[in-house]
Amino acid sequence: MLSLDNVSFHIGSQKILTDISLTLSKDEMVSLIGPNGAGKSTLVKLILGLNKPTKGKVINHTNVISYVPQKFSVPNILPLRVKDLLAQANPKRLSGDERAFVLDKLSLNPLLDRQIHHLSGGETQRVLMARALLDKPDLLILDEPMQGLDPDSEELLYAFIDGLPPFLACAMLVVSHDLHWVMKGTRRVICLNKHICCQGVPSDIAHLPEFVALFGQYHASHQTPYIHHHDHCQHTH
């Protein structure tokens, strides 16, 4: 679906990302983790085509990419209702029953006539998730979708992501600080700190020195987001 071949992104002499190579296959869920300033948002912008790489190639074989941002705000003077935002999705991508399923599972029917700027953080994220999925994307990018949400909203969205029905199946790239969910809920994890420090299935990378240098020792009983203690990951040759 997507591949990056030795992609670098520099601003002047500042190296934001260096030699990033990765692939994302159909229906695969990949988590992207790393400390603040690691270049996660920059990598997402390169994939979305909002930035051009300084070096290397981004090869995209998808027809539709949907994106759920970290933050979304609407000016108070703009009278945008939930149903107005959702109506912008391509009506031909899903059937009427499939659209109804998305709205029901995300508990959006009671919110359809509400103004976007009157919604809580959890309600806004559910609306953005629905808007992204109503286009039936080949690739769904979620940028810190749970940041700042209350536990109930987190649980609802995690359950929805984990249980997507076949008609919504797509490749997913999830940027997350929730290490417990990342290690439990995804098949492949990419650790980024301006370059790819390590990647692989959670059970394998949790013991790698590069992972431990960034996130400390991980135990399955951990229920809290990770705390970053180091500025640079270690390297093995």
pLDDT attached to residue 218: 67
Sign of the alpha-carbon dihedral angle for 66, 146, 194, 206: negative
Which CATH number do you get for residue 142?
Answer: 3.40.50.300
Q: Which residues of the chain have pLDDT under 50?
A: 222-232, 234-237
CA 218 to chain centre: 21
127 is a domain residue: no
193 is a domain residue: yes
Angle between helices 151-162 and 121-133 (to 10 degrees): 20
151 is a domain residue: yes
Work out how many domains the chain is built from and give that number. Answer: 1
Q: What is the DSSP letter of 208?
A: S
Q: Quote the domain boundaries for residue 148.
A: 2-75+137-215
15 is a domain residue: yes
pLDDT attached to residue 208: 85
pLDDT attached to residue 224: 43
pLDDT tens readout for residues 23-35: 999 989 999 999 8
Q: What's the pTM value of the predicted model, to 2 decimals?
A: 0.85
pLDDT tens readout for residues 129-171: 999 999 999 999 999 887 777 788 888 888 888 888 999 999 9
186 is a domain residue: yes
Tell me the C-alpha distance between 36 and 70, whole Å.
14
80 is a domain residue: no
pLDDT attached to residue 220: 58
